[in-house]
Amino acid sequence: TYIGSIVASVNPYKSIPGLYDCATVERYSRHHMGEIAPHVFAVANECYRCLWKRHDNQCILISGESGAGKTESTKLILKFLSAMSQHSLELSSREKTSCVEQAILES
């Protein structure tokens, strides 16, 4: 659920098909936060929009207890930002996107 510009989420401790795939990245990249269901991609998209359109510095705080999914949330946000940066550079090759994404995630 959203609490202002904050998304409160729960780690489901299992894979949910379609929840974090490329189609979901695309869907959230086309909407502002609050227009569609709460998602970690919505927060990442808002951050990305503010960075490029308003030229505002951005920070995403990920908090929670051990096992809450902080590391996975960080990876998902980086996945979204990587996809958006590739899209903004108009690179359509999936290989280039996965290469950049993999380098970021491995770091």
70 is in an annotated binding site: yes
Ligand-binding annotation for 72, yes or no, is no
**71 labelled as ligand-binding?**
yes
66 is in an annotated binding site: yes
4 is in an annotated binding site: no
42 is in an annotated binding site: no
Minimal CA–CA distance to 31: which of 10, 66, 2? Answer: 2
CA atoms within 13 A on the CB side of 67: 3
The pairing of beta strand 2-3 with beta strand 6-7: antiparallel
Binding site, annotated residues? 64-71
Binding site, annotated residues for ATP? 64-71
